[in-house]
Structure formats: C-alpha cells, structure tokens
Chains A and B, each alone.
Chain A
Amino acid sequence: MNEPESAFDRSVRRTQWVLAGLAVLFVTGIVTWIAHLIRTAWRLGDVLSASIGISLVAIPVFLTLGGVIVYVFVGLLTDRSAR
C-alpha cells in the first residue's frame, strides 16, 4: 500500500472515520441520556427504582452495541493484511 492516496481515496477514508465517530457519538449520547433520566428522577423525588432498574439493563445493551460497532469499523478500516 505505498501508492499515494488519490483525493477520492482520501475523501472516502475521511467520511468512513466520520461515520464511525457518529456511531460512537450516538451510543454515548443514548447512554448519557439514560444517566440524565436517573438524575432527573432523583432530583424530582420521582420513582428512582424504575430508572435504575431499566438502566441496569439498557446501558450494558447499548455499550455492547457500541462495542461491536467500534470493533467492526476499526477492524475493517485499519486492516492492512494481505489478501
């Protein structure tokens, strides 16, 4: 892979990394949101147990999803091995 990258290749690469970043941003966004809802429930003296119970399931699920997404994006994009 020593040939100089063309402008086309460069724009493709850049977009791919942007996509990967967006995916990560999305998952972290949702996790932050769930955490925010716990905080809201606590501050309002609302039903905290429901928020905590659901986030105990939801947050790991989203983190796993995010993990797989990162694994694929990074794994495929950084692959330099020969065919």
Chain B
Amino acid sequence: MSDAIVERDRALFGPLSETGRGFYLTVGVLGLAILWGAIAYAVQWSEGLGVTGLHQPVSWGFYVTNFVFFIGISHAGTLISAILRLSKAEWRRPITRMAEVITVMVLFIGAGQILVDLGRPDRMMNVIQYGRYQSPLLWDATSISAYLTASTFYLYLPLIPDIAILRDHLGKRRWLYAVLALGWRGTERQWKILNRAIAIMAVLVIPIAVSVHTVVSFVFSMTIQPMWHSTIFGPYFVAGAIFSGIAAIIVAMGIIRRIYRLQSYLKPIHFRYLGQLLLVMTLLWFYLTFAEYLTGYYGNEPEEMKVFWSKFTGPFWPFFWAMVVANFVIPMVLLVRLRHHAVGKTVVASAFVVVGMWLERFIIVVPTLSNPRLPFPEGQYWPTWIEWGELAASFGVFILFYVLFVKLFPIISIWEIQEGRDVGLKEVEERLLTYLPDGAADAAMPEREKVLT
C-alpha cells in the first residue's frame, strides 16, 4: 500500500482497509432493526395479513406506500449519474458512485415491499407462470427488472478499473477482486470497450428509469378511483421520484463525508450544485402538486372532493400539511441562499424532503381508499408493529447493504477522480474554448500561452 496511486487518494482506501468499532456498532443496530422486521414477517407469514392494520376499505397501506417511496428513491442514483455523465458535468466525479449504489440497493428493497404485501407470498410464482400483461403490476415487474439489470451493470462498469486497483494494491480479498476485475489491465482496447459501454448504458438507463416510475404511477392511475385516475400521475411520480432521490443522495453524501472523513472530496460546492438541483425539483414538485389539486378542486366532482377534503381538512390533514411544509416550505427557505453553510443546509433540507416524500406517497395511497364511492362502514387505518417493523427493516437492510458496499468497494470512484486530475482539467479548458466565438478563441490562445510560460 505505498504506490503513488494509493498515496494520492489515501482517504478513499480508508474504509476498505480498516474496520473500526463504529462499523460493528452500526451493523449491530441495523441487525436489530432487521431482526424486528424478520420476526414481524414470520408472524405475518403464519397468521396472514390480518396482523397488519389493513382492513376494508383501506386494503393498501404502509407496504404499498413504501413500495412507491423506495422505488422513488432509487431514481436518483442512476438517473442523475447518467444525466451528469452525458452532460459532462465535471463535478459529478465523486458523486456518481454513491448515487448509483443507492439505486441498486433500494430497488431490491422496493421490489421486496410487493412481496411483503402479498396475501399469498407462497404463490408468488403464479406471476411468472400465469402473469398477464393487462395488469399494471406486470408492467412494474418488467420495468423494474430492466432497471435493476441496467443499473446494476451501470454501477459495475465504472467499478471495473477500481476493482483492478484494489486487486493489485489492497492485498485483501484478492480472489474476489480478481474475478470481478475481469482481467482488467488498462490496455487501450479495454478502455475503449469500457468507455463505449458506459456511454451506451448512460443513454439506455434514462428512458428505463423514467419508465419505471411512470408504470408505478399507473398502478394507481389506471384504476378509476377518485384522485388516482389522473393523467398527470406519470410525470408527477417521476418528478417526485427524482426529487426524493436527489434528497437521498445528499443525505448519504453528508453522512459518508462525515464518517469517512472525505471532506476534501465532497466539498461544499458539490452540495451547493446538488442543492440547486433540489431547489429546482422542489419548485417542479410544487407546480405539479398545485396543478393536480387545483384541477380536482375546480372540477368539484363530489367523489373527488370527498378525497380532496379528507386530505386538506379531514382526518389526513396532519399528513398533508406536514408534507407541504417538508417538501416545499423548508427546502425553499433553506435552499434559496447557499453561499454559506451549504453542506448543513442542503443536508437538513434533504432530510425533510425524504420524510415529506414518504408522506406524499402515503397521502396518495390511503385517502383515496378510505373514501369509497358507496357509503361504506369506515375504519381508520393505523399500522401495527408489524408494519413498523417492515419499515424499520427496510431501512435497516438498505443501510446495511450500503455499509457493506463501502467496506468492499471504493465509494468514490478512484480512477474517475484521477482522470479528472489528469485529463479532465485539460479537456474542460479545450471544451470551453470551443464554446467561445472563433475569434475570441484564437485571441485567447496566445494570451494563455504567455501566461503559462
């Protein structure tokens, strides 16, 4: 561990080579959360879904909310990273990897929510054997598996050169790294293949990601239930997904930066840029929410209004208004000026957005169900410890996977940082010159040369 490569980015190897007390403590706490979820699931498996708070007419609750929420979070990673890569944003370099990891881990958990939600998980194979494509659930299954494949591979591709570095320098887990490095030696041909594949995947992954949350929204909007049957739901869900996803990335960045002392890699500027992106998404989210609710309100259809008022002033008002505060008011206040304390402000705003977006999903799923068209004996939905357990375990599994990933692979792409230093700097300068009018570029050239020499 004394090569120049390792020496230059020593901080990035820290979590890979050393394991402290904090790690075991975290894993222990997460283990408890997961244990809670496991016990809850065992009870649910043997007793049936009756152990949850679900009933008639609220037959979907926490699990479906979590499904939409987690799939939403998963949007940030790969999508943002692909967009930043394609737009050649240089500041992406330390961020892309940690974003992509979120996607892959959270997608598994999101898809898992549906399995937890099934009344007969033992008959899951029926979906494969007798699935029918008229059901939006099958659209989800197809779209999510495409996204899972694509984003896993998209995470893996830029990992290959880093794994090769680990294989050659770390001295631990050699067999694993040797297998995963795919014989990477950094030849010209290998670089060509890798760069081309990354470029193709970056393009491919964007429409897939958009399709995923669109079809998740279709689960609701394809029915004819009040406040679900809405044409805006596709884009609304996608925007919300990106919104919550960016927030999740920022929170993850804030925590990782703190724990692994990566302040020199994840700088305030990164938080500021992402914070501005988050601000844009806040506004977009508010715009779409406004459009959605005003249309319902103005149309004044009795069935829609029942749901509408139950959200605004009825039993769901605390959730609804908390959502508005967490998703709009707080981010607006914190994010408009990011000159100072960019890190703290964006992380706090993002934490609120994550909670707010969970509430948003809840406020979409439950009020519609609890206000049926026909006068129906109503019951209030409140989750039991089983559902809380699944929620805790979902977060537990997510964080545990993340922590393990950080233990096994560099969470900041080593080669991309180095490429930024060695190639990126020059490239950006040249690219800048091509943006300028021709004369200006020619005029600037000799000037610059003079300065440099």
Contact = CB atoms under 8 A, between A and B. Distances in A.
Do A and B touch directly, given a CB cutoff of 8 Å in the complex?
Answer: yes
Interface of A: 8, 11-13, 15-16, 19, 26-27, 30, 33-34, 37, 40-41, 44, 46-47, 50-51, 53-55, 58, 61-62, 64-65, 68-69, 71-73, 75-77, 79, 81-83
A27 B193 CA distance: 21
A37 to B, nearest CB: 5
B319 to A, nearest CB: 35
A71 B185 contact: no
Interface in B79-133: 128, 130-133
A76 B160 contact: yes
Contacts of A61: 146, 204, 208
B149 A79 contact: no
A50 B175 contact: no
B194 A58 contact: no
Contacts of A16: 179, 182-183
Interface string B167-199: 000000001001100111111111001100100
B132 A40 contact: yes
A64 B200 CA distance: 10
**Top 4 closest A-B pairs, CB basis?**
A75-B193, A51-B133, A47-B134, A76-B182
Nearest to A47: B134
B157 interface: yes
Given A37-B133, A72-B157, A58 B142 contact: yes
A46 B132 contact: yes
The contact size tier of chain B is 35 or more
Nearest to B208: A61
A82 B187 contact: yes
A75 to B, nearest CB: 4
Interface of B: 128, 130-134, 138-139, 142, 145-146, 149-150, 153, 157, 160, 175, 178-179, 182-190, 193-194, 197, 200-201, 204, 208
Given A11-B175, A15-B179, A76-B183, A81 B134 contact: no
A79 B179 contact: no
B134 A50 contact: yes
Contacts of B175: 8, 11-12
Given A16-B179, A61-B204, A75-B189, 15 more contacts: A12-B178, A26-B149, A30-B145, A34-B142, A40-B131, A50-B132, A58-B146, A62-B146, A62-B149, A68-B153, A71-B193, A72-B194, A77-B183, A79-B183, A83-B186
A54 B133 contact: yes
A54 to B, nearest CB: 5
Given A47-B133, A61-B208, A72-B157, A79 B146 contact: no
B151 to A, nearest CB: 11
A71 B189 CA distance: 12
Nearest to B130: A40
Which of A50, A79, A82 gathers most chain B CB within 10 Å? A79
A75 B133 contact: no
Given A12-B179, A72-B193, A65 B130 contact: no
B132 A64 contact: no
